[in-house]
Amino acid sequence: MTGPDKNKLFPNERIKTICYLKNLPPKTNVEIGEYTYYSDNKNPPEKFYDNIEHHYEFLGDKLIIGRFCAIAEGIKFIMNGANHKMDGITTYPFNIFAGGWEKVTPTVEQLPYKGDTVIGNDVWIGQNVTVMPGVNIGDGAIVAANSTVVKNIEPYTIYGGNPAKFIRKRFSDKTIEWLLELQWWNWDEKKIFANLEFLTSEIEF
């Protein structure tokens, strides 16, 4: 035995509130790494995709989540489809109501576009967090519960609040550099199993 079966939706059959997201049916423009899980005590966790909002294929933006991430219930990923054209006198989307108003339908190029939303590896996202379009959250970062992430988060830092602000680094710069080179999340199952005590122990350079 070298750990749970990464190919199961529910890695622990006794706990149906936690699922491995990689094993959900594939969804266009969503990429999720192995062992990343979603936990939800209010709704079936396999409905995770319902938490990705305004994600339209024609815009082409992706939600990319790395390996070994822990994502708590209440997560909301707001994608680029939520954006309104902002360079006119009003931001009101007349065009979606038809009745002749569609004559001012903006082109895709005229809409604000923030790019892909990218969550690194080994990221812990607390309950009821909202992640705005185009945000990048670095490896090993922690986002506190009830936060709204509006800008990029550096690796191995802790952010919290609305809008989410820097709280502190998890480790010294030297340790962070070493961890980013280590990339333990890319180890195979046997190596991870053999180093579980090391991976869960305190470390600081």
| Third-level CATH fold of 18-192 | UDP N-Acetylglucosamine Acyltransferase; domain 1 (2.160.10)
Over residues 107-128, the mean pLDDT reads 95
Burial class (CB in 10 A: 0-12, 13-18, 19+), 75: buried
Closest by Cα among 109, 103, 182 to 140: 182
Element at 125 (helix H, strand E): strand 124-125
Q: How confident is the model at residue 2 (pLDDT cuts 50, 70, 90)?
A: confident
Q: What is the pLDDT of residue 7?
A: 96
Q: What is the pLDDT of residue 204?
A: 75
Task: Work out the number of other CB atoms within 10 angstroms of the CB of residue 104.
Answer: 11
CA distances from 29 to 23, 108, 205 (A): 15, 17, 39
CA distances from 185 to 53, 58, 123, 165, 172 (A): 28, 32, 11, 26, 20
Of 8-12, 97-101, 200-204, where does mean pLDDT reach its minimum? 200-204
Q: What is the pLDDT of residue 203?
A: 85
Distance CA 139, CA 125 (A): 12
Q: How confident is the model at residue 18 (pLDDT cuts 50, 70, 90)?
A: very high
Share of the chain above pLDDT 90, in %: 93
Domain ranges of the chain: 18-192
User: What are residue 118's DSSP bridge partners?
Assistant: 64, 136
Instruction: Inform me whether the pLDDT recorded for 70 exceeds 80.
Output: yes
What are 6's two structure tokens?
Answer: 């990464």
Which pLDDT tens digit goes with each residue over 127-163? 999 999 999 999 999 999 999 999 999 999 999 999 9
Q: What is the pLDDT of residue 29?
A: 96
Instruction: Inform me whether the pLDDT recorded for 205 exceeds 80.
Output: no
Q: What is the pLDDT of residue 98?
A: 93
CA distances from 161 to 44, 72, 95 (A): 27, 16, 35
- The HSE-up count of residue 147 (CA atoms within 13 Å, CB side) is 21
Enzyme catalytic residues: 84
Q: How confident is the model at residue 104 (pLDDT cuts 50, 70, 90)?
A: very high
The model's pTM? 0.94
Of 106-110, 195-199, 201-205, where does mean pLDDT reach its minimum? 201-205
Cβ–Cβ < 8 Å for 132, 78: yes
Q: How confident is the model at residue 109 (pLDDT cuts 50, 70, 90)?
A: confident
Helix, coil or strand: residue 146: coil
Q: What is the pLDDT of residue 154?
A: 98
Q: For all residues of the chain together, what is the average pLDDT?
A: 96
Instruction: Inform me whether the pLDDT recorded for 1 exceeds 90.
Output: no
Cβ–Cβ < 8 Å for 109, 127: no
Q: What is the pLDDT of residue 141?
A: 98
